[in-house]
Amino acid sequence: MSKRDFYEVLGVDKSASADEVKKAYRKLARKYHPDVNKAADAESKFKEVKEAYDTLSDPQKKAHYDQFGHTDPNQGFGGGGDFGGFSDIFDMFFGGGGGRRNPNAPRQGADLQYTMTLEFKEAVFGKETDIEIPKEETCDTCFGTGAQPGTKPETCSHCNGTGQLSVEQNTPFGRVVNRRVCHHCEGTGKYVKDKCNTCGGKGKVRKRKKIHVKIPAGIDTGQQIRVSGQGESGVNGGPPGDLFVVINVKPHEFFERDGDDLYCEMPITYVQATLGDEIEVPTLQGKIKLKIPAGTQTGTNFRLRGKGVPNVRGYGQGDQHIQVRVITPKNLTEKQKELLREFGELSGNQAPDEQSENFFSKVKRAFKSFND
């Protein structure tokens, strides 16, 4: 099945800015996160959204995608970046092999990726934890040679240890030499006769390794942590690859995060809004007092500087934005109703009669979550 257009997946235009792409991704990631959305297709949609963001948030990948879409521009040359048959033609005409990679040269191991899901509080304050990942490591029995202890790899008799086979061919340009990787030793120049019983001659074994990871305070969904040297082991003595820990953060019931800033709603009573008051507000650092001026209207915003999320790179701290919501009373006594009717007659306004119990419950839980 063909992939959907990445811009369509995120619901943004091709001219969308990096911030617009990021906001669209965060919104959809929260919507389809498997820990939140239990629908059967939530996980596949979450992966689709993440793949689209990984491409469109990287300028180089985005430029490539804008030019070629999902099509690999190298497919017309025999697949991959090796240019397949084209290399053979080049070798035929120019006596090639010079552009091929030395199969015995040291090569860095492959990078690994691990996805970690964090609670909102863990992402805000950071944590240290151990994770287990499956990875290939050098065999402890043969120490990477692939040969049974007491033996060693032998020189390949087909290529005499060069790792290449030369074939002479007649062409319109004369007789040329076409060099190819030796299929007997796969270009290593060596042949393992007595293979190691532990790794089967591969020189590597797959293990589950425990790795200690430090999660910095302020990390957010889509960001990743690089753990150097914890990827797959290198080839021919090359260095190991790296491990990239990709972060997903569960949404919070009370706080909404945008970058380093936090947004929340606070309920106040009709009397508090009219006469003014001082209320307690939950923050990441604990409860604080917030002064509500007399005559405050529902939807009024207040800003608490430095009460947001710590910047993951250590550049200060965001702000907390509070929007107040006036909750109308219910279950009034006759005396209260009479007073409100009298007030309404004097002011010419009708008093509302609803409020949200669930909203107050959310605030109570928010007070508790950051004080546990």
Q: Which residues are annotated as a binding site for Zn(2+)?
A: 139, 142, 156, 159, 182, 185, 196, 199
Task: Report the alpha-carbon distance of residue 190 to residue 181 in Å, rounded.
Answer: 13
Task: Report the alpha-carbon distance of residue 338 to residue 109 in Å, rounded.
Answer: 79
Binding residues: 139, 142, 156, 159, 182, 185, 196, 199
Bridging pattern class, strands 286-292 and 301-304: unpaired
CA proximity to 213, closest of 294, 126, 341, 323: 126
Residues 6+ apart with CB under 8 A from 223: 246, 247, 312
